[in-house]
Amino acid sequence: MSPIIRECKKRRLDYFILHTGQHYSYEMDRLFFEELELPQAEHNLEVGSGSHGRQTGKIMSGVEKILEKERPDVFLVQGDTNTVLGGALAASKMRISVGHVEAGLRSFDRTMPEEINRVVVDHISDYLFAPTKTAKENLIREGILDKKISLTGNTIVDSIRQNLKLSKRKVNPLKDLGLKEKDYFLATVHRAENVDNRVRLNEILKGFRLISEEFSLPVVFPVHPRTRNRIREFGLELGGVSNINPMGFLEFLQLEAGARLVLTDSGGVQEETCILGIPCVTLRDNTERPETLEVGSNILAGADSEVIHEKTRFMMNVDSVWTNPFGDGIAGKRIITILSRTGNSH
């Protein structure tokens, strides 16, 4: 959302940031605002972690109170989290226009909570900002009116371009961690289907050890709090992996840009590596970012250690010459311009 926030600020629009506090560690919420030099959120619900129902309910209740007070013309949500679902439901029921940034993404796997969130939010939104042609086609196929959909590109391209410059001015994680460019793997694991399943999580960690041994490169693994808790609960081994605490986005962005290859179950990281020209192995059985598979920046490996090993070996030999499918880096500007034309950005 940072490119949209910066564009609102640049145009001196009347806007506010509502932060739900869905993430429950300092590194994963407030630090983003400070590092990205964004204005602090005027409203922070501090909902914390919890079951899907409880967390979404708390978000809806909190958002409703803020919207009763602020009465905005349009309420923008981005992505596929419970924050997006709870916020969009609350605004929609109050007859406040909802704009969904990154609309139309589909994994076609309804067992994923994020897929439910994406589908519901798209169908109750008034403005659907599709990042790619594939995303727009998904929306039209589901019967959403073409006039509601705008093909904008993805704000992640804007974000990477803006924030990589900012990052290099402020931090140097490779130096801090004693790493050399293209001389390490980077890994992230946080999705429930992986970390809440002992067999899958164990296989993923085993896969990390296999590739580290074969290529004699460290696997740098910033461990999400939820993942660390599950590793401890399941009694799993982190041996052979350089596990570190979660880091801010600016540091992580530089680690991505400097990695030889990235292993992840994150949708955003699949996009970021594609834009940065870094090969990616996705630790899932499907993806809502099929464009990354089509251009050859990414490959699906699931959660079998041997398959992770095999797919990593394949991607190590891929030339990073694909075309970025996510747009031209001015999606934030385009989104605000579209809202301005409809009279919904004052």
pLDDT tens digits along 70-126: 999 999 999 999 999 999 999 999 999 999 999 999 999 999 999 999 999 999 999
Query: Both 166 and 309 in a single domain?
Result: yes
Structural domain contains residue 321: no
Residue 249 contacts residue 32 (beta carbons within 8 Å): yes
- Residues 335 and 239 both lie in one domain: no
Looking up residue 40, the CATH number of its domain turns out to be 3.40.50.2000
Confidence of residue 49 (pLDDT cuts 50, 70, 90): confident
Within a domain: residue 45? Answer: yes
Examine the domain organization and report whether 333 and 294 are in the same domain.
no
295 and 333 inside one domain? no
Judgement on whether residues 147 and 12 belong to the same structural domain of the protein: yes
The answer on 117 and 209 residing in a single domain is: no
Query: Is 128 within the bounds of a domain?
Result: yes
Clarify whether residues 73 and 38 are in a common domain. Answer: yes
Question: Is 320 contained in some domain?
Answer: no
Q: Which amino acid is at 229?
A: N
53 and 147 together in one domain: yes
Answering whether pTM is above 0.75, one says yes
| pLDDT above 60 (res 26) | no
**187 and 291 part of one domain:** yes
pLDDT value at position 346?
A: 46
**124 assigned to some structural domain:** yes
d(CA 57, CA 229): 24
Do 13 and 131 have their domain in common? yes
Does 286 map to a domain? yes
Task: Tell me: do 184 and 47 sit in the same domain.
Answer: no
Residue 56 has pLDDT above 90, yes or no: yes
The answer to whether 8 touches 340, Cβ cutoff 8 Å, is no
Q: What is the pLDDT of residues 246-264, one digit of tens each?
A: 888 899 999 999 999 999 9
Convert 183-215 to b/e letters by CB count within 10 Å (16 or more is b). Answer: ebbbbbbbbebbbebeebbbbbbbbbbbbbeeb
**Residue 146: is it exposed, middle or buried by C-beta count within 10 angstroms (0-12/13-18/19+)?**
exposed
For residue 127, pLDDT over 90 is answered with yes
In a domain, 217, yes or no: yes
Contact assessment for residue 186 and residue 256, using Cβ atoms and an 8 Å cutoff: yes
**Mind listing the pLDDT tens digit for each residue in 294-332?**
999 999 999 999 999 999 999 999 999 999 999 999 999
Angstrom CA distances, 214 to 3, 209, 230, 260, 342, stand at 40, 9, 27, 14, 56
Tell whether 49 is covered by a domain.
yes
Mark whether 128 and 185 lie in a shared domain: no
Q: Check residue 345 and give its pLDDT.
A: 52
Phi, psi angle pair for 261, to nearest 5°:
-165, 150
> What are the residue numbers of the active site?
190
Residue 23's pLDDT band (boundaries 50, 70, 90)?
A: confident
**Tally of structural domains, the chain:** 2
Domain carrying residue 336 = 2-154+327-341
The two tokens of residue 72 are 């905005």
Nearest to 231, CA basis, from 197, 263, 264: 197
